[in-house]
């Protein structure tokens, strides 16, 4: 049973209850709230549109596509993510749409045609903050900051290639911290997408509710004088 839902109308999004309808859960580390995916899908696509998530992870985007009458392609470089997403999609639904899950690389979407996608909704890793595999070649979650940005340029270029004209690309991204200093990964990634040819439609701030200033992190925040990162960005681009 789906929870009460209302489409967001401003540029600050906050979901204290992350959403647990259908097969959604928080077991896949770093996955985003289904409220994010649902808002993006309903606002920036239409029924029967084709949605792409090339960092499919725990399958949040594809589950919402199935629930909201969208066709979808989910891609991940990690076979475990591909299998998990297939399991998440194993539920009955009122709609009969085409949902595909593939093993692949977001830097080279060789199985996706030019100008074929109606919406991109995806959540890349934040460089090497969380490593999603042990040793998979091409896994962006193993790349350091500068190497990650180089790879994201390829991701942005592929997004631009496969997306239809006047359609939208939504990227969820956050910042990192090193040696007490913020690394503005979000804005760096945003600029790579602009450089690829996209127009900046929106910059949305999403509050993170799993960043509690207690225990170890609260003590270190005060001791070493830094603020806990409690927000992420949702960048909406238009081709």
Is 6 a member of any domain? no
Is 5 a member of any domain? no
- Sign of the dihedral defined by the CA atoms of residues 45, 50, 54, 55, in that order: positive
Residue 63, phi then psi, degrees to nearest 5: -60, -40
What pLDDT was estimated at residue 26?
85
Give the angle 81-86-87 at the CA atoms, nearest 5°: 95
Token pair for 153: 């340029």
239 pLDDT more than 80: yes
Select the more confidently predicted residue: 201 or 129: 201
**Closest by Cα among 172, 162, 171 to 232:** 172
Give the angle 54-168-6 at the CA atoms, nearest 5°: 95
DSSP secondary structure code for residue 105 in this structure: B
The model's pTM is 0.94
Is 225 a member of any domain? yes
Is 1 a member of any domain? no
Is 99 a member of any domain? yes
CB-CB contact of 70 with 45 (8 Å): yes
User: In this structure, what CATH number is given to the domain that contains residue 206?
Assistant: 3.40.50.150
pLDDT for 9-68, tens place per residue? Answer: 999 999 988 899 999 998 888 789 999 999 999 999 999 999 999 999 999 999 999 999
pLDDT for 95-113, tens place per residue? Answer: 999 999 999 999 999 999 9
Is 7 a member of any domain? no
126 CB burial (10 A radius; 0-12, 13-18, 19+): buried
Number of domains in the chain: 1
Q: Are strands 181-183 and 99-103 parallel, antiparallel or unpaired?
A: unpaired
Is 233 a member of any domain? yes
Q: Which of 39-53, 79-93, 121-135 has the lowest mean pLDDT?
A: 121-135
Is 3 a member of any domain? no
Average pLDDT over residues 202-224: 77
Instruction: Return the half-sphere exposure (C-beta side, CA atoms, 13 A cut-off) of residue 81.
Output: 28
Residues spanned by the domain of 130: 12-238
């Amino acid at each position: 049973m789906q929870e009460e839902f209302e489409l967001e109308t401003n540029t600050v999004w906050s979901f204290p209850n992350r959403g647990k309808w259908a097969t959604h859960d928080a077991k896949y580390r770093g996955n985003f709230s289904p409220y994010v995916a649902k808002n993006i899908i309903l606002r920036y696509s239409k029924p029967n549109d084709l949605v792409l998530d090339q960092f499919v992870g725990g399958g949040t985007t594809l589950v919402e596509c199935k629930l909201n009458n969208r066709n979808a392609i989910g891609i991940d470089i990690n076979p475990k993510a591909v299998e998990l997403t297939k399991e998440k999609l194993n539920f009955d639904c009122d709609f009969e749409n085409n949902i595909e899950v593939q093993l692949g690389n977001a830097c080279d979407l060789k199985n996706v045609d030019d100008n074929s996608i109606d919406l991109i909704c995806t959540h890349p890793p934040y460089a090497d903050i969380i490593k999603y595999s042990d040793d998979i070649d091409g896994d962006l979650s193993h790349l350091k900051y500068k190497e990650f940005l180089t790879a994201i340029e390829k991701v942005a270029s592929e997004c631009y290639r496969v997306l239809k004209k006047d359609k939208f690309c939504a990227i969820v991204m956050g910042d990192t911290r090193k040696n007490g200093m913020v690394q503005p990964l979000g804005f760096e990634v945003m600029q790579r997408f602009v450089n690829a040819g996209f127009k900046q439609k929106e910059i949305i701030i999403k509050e993170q509710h799993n960043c509690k200033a207690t225990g170890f992190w609260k003590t270190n925040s005060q001791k070493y004088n830094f603020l806990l990162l409690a927000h992420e960005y949702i960048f909406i681009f238009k081709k």
